[in-house]
Amino acid sequence: MVKSREDLVKWSLRKAEEYLESARQNLDENRLFPAAEEIFRSVETTLEALLYHFGTRKIEYPGKVKKFTGRLALQFLIRDTLARRGRISREEYDRYLALASELHMAGYDHGRVFLERELERDLRFAEDLQTKAKSITKR
């Protein structure tokens, strides 16, 4: 099982890097909404890699009636496994949630515009988080 978990960590970090590259290209091409999505995906996938590294086997979270899966389960796992245990800082967790919220709200507000300077700041955050994850996982 350890080998497959290591493979999940490697795959997640590779995927997060692909999302970062796509975000950079979208920013260069002035496609700001797709850049915002790719930045968020990179952050989310980097955090997923950390979850796998720290022992998570599946992205699911127990509920009273049935297990949560998908993004909601991922948010709960990130909160409980990474943030509350001090594996990521409160600031990193808050930035992750802020990115998720901005994208979610943009889906409802069709006039929503992402600012390039904010996306550049978010991209730096995603890059820093990925560097941290690589150093933790030694990849």
pTM over 0.85, yes/no: yes
2-137: CATH, from 3.20.20.80, 3.90.650.10, 3.20.20.140, 1.20.120.330: 1.20.120.330
Residue 1, pLDDT score = 40
Counting Cα atoms < 13 Å in the Cβ hemisphere of 53 gives: 22
Q: Smallest Cα–Cα separation from 37: which of 92, 103, 101?
A: 103
Q: How far is CA 64 from CA 56, 67, 71, in A?
A: 20, 8, 18
In single-letter form, the type of residue at position 21 comes to E
Residue 139, pLDDT score = 64
- Kindly give the confidence (pLDDT) of every residue in the chain, 139 residues in length, as a single tens digit, with 9 standing for 90 and above: 446 889 999 999 999 999 999 999 999 999 999 999 999 999 999 999 999 999 998 999 998 898 989 999 999 999 999 999 999 999 999 999 999 999 988 878 777 789 999 999 999 999 999 999 999 998 6
Structure token digits, residue 135: 């150093």
